[in-house]
Amino acid sequence: MTEVNTMREDLKERLFRFLLPIQTERYVDHRAFEDVISRADDAARLLKSYELVPKALLNDLHATSKVLRAEALHIKSETGAMLKMAERLEYVFDLILLGESLEDRIPGVPRII
């Protein structure tokens, strides 16, 4: 579980660094979001082999998507991009709950459960 804790702390730090400029300066750092989503994808890949998932990690992803949706109303030039970011985080959140990762969902290929 140590690897999971390390992953969670790293993701939490990246989420903080991404959200802080949004909430304080109304600035959206797209590169920081790509770091966040990449790490979230890594988390989904790692957690897929675990039966139990840390609630704190799920809460961090869920809260971040809610913050993005709320702040999108105040940053008109980035509203569309921020809503798409929230959707991407919610998608990874859903994958973690399902015990899947991004590689499990290939467009045009039927899923076998």
Containing structural domain, residue 54: 2-101
Residue 113 lies in a domain: no
Residue 34 lies in a domain: yes
Residue 91 lies in a domain: yes
Residue 58 lies in a domain: yes
pLDDT tens-digit profile of 92-104? 999 999 999 888 7
Residue 62 lies in a domain: yes
Residue 54 lies in a domain: yes
The pTM for the full model equals 0.89
Residue 108 lies in a domain: no
Of 11, 16, 111, 17, nearest to 57 (Cα)? Answer: 11
Residue 110 lies in a domain: no
Cα–Cα distance for residue pair 95/113, rounded to 1 Å = 14
Number of domains in the chain: 1
pLDDT tens-digit profile of 52-87? 999 999 999 999 999 999 999 999 999 999 999 999
